[in-house]
Structure 1
Amino acid sequence: MAVKTFERVVDDLDGTELAPMSVESVSFGIDGETFDIDLSSTNAAMLRDIFAPYAAAARVVSIGDREVGAYTRTVLPSAHAGTQIRRWAREHGYDVSPRGAIPREVRDAYARRED
């Protein structure tokens, strides 16, 4: 018997199912915490609109050669990047949720993996 597993990509804010290539992973920070959230283009734009006046009035903080602003935009590099990272993480003993932001520790470990 063949088993087929399907993973859906959803907007973390409203749960809407998304086409994998339309997901925007948005990072933002407040009070020393950095957050990542996967959103539709519409919800990502709304989040940016909310942050815009605060970002315009804020200072950009530089950490080494890397600048950290109020938010950054990252479009997933491939249609199934989040799915691939989650699968790899589970296979390597990481506890990751089926949706939502993937912890930085997991993303960093995935980036350092040896194929």
Structure 2
Amino acid sequence: MATRHIAQLIDDLDGTVLEQGEGKQLNFSVEGRSYEIDLSDTNADKFHAALAPFVNAARSIGSASRQSTARAPRAKSDLDLNSVREWARANGHTVSDRGRIAGPVVEAYKAANA
């Protein structure tokens, strides 16, 4: 038996079911809180018209889509880096006492100890 899931876009303001390709998903922010709303083209135009006097009088502070791009911390390695360094030196590789170990050295260590 097959199951078919059908997604319908519905105008959040008046409940109108929108056809494929109709309507807009709008994102906006008020007092530091972000919102998203699905609207028909007509209601989207009304939304923009209602905000126009405020937008025209406001100062732009940049794109709302720009968010902090903090990097996720790297995953903790299962390798004992001291063992990798000892193996690398014993097998002719040059490695420092601290810091990152070059990828090819780590791969060679893994291959030799697989």
Alignment TM-score, normalising by the size of structure 1: 0.51
Ranges in structure 1 where 5+ consecutive residues have no aligned partner: 69-115
Instruction: Tell me the distance in 2 between the aligned counterparts of 1:9 and 1:46.
Output: 18
> Amino acid of the residue matched to residue 11 of structure 2?
D
Q: Does 1:42 align with 2:42?
A: yes
Instruction: Tell me the distance in 2 between the aligned counterparts of 1:20 and 1:36.
Output: 19
Which of the pair has the greater relative contact order for Cα pairs under 8 Å at 6+ separation?
1
Structure number with bigger Rg: 2
Identity %: 36
Deviation at 1:37, TM superposition (A): 0.7
> Amino acid of the residue matched to residue 54 of structure 2?
Y
Deviation at 1:19, TM superposition (A): 1.1
Residue 27 of structure 1 corresponds to: 27
Alignment TM-score, normalising by the size of structure 2: 0.51
Deviation at 1:36, TM superposition (A): 1.1
Query: Greater share of strand residues, 1 or 2?
Result: 1
Secondary structure of the equivalent of 2:21?
helix
> Amino acid of the residue matched to residue 12 of structure 2?
D
Instruction: Tell me the distance in 2 between the aligned counterparts of 1:45 and 1:35.
Output: 17
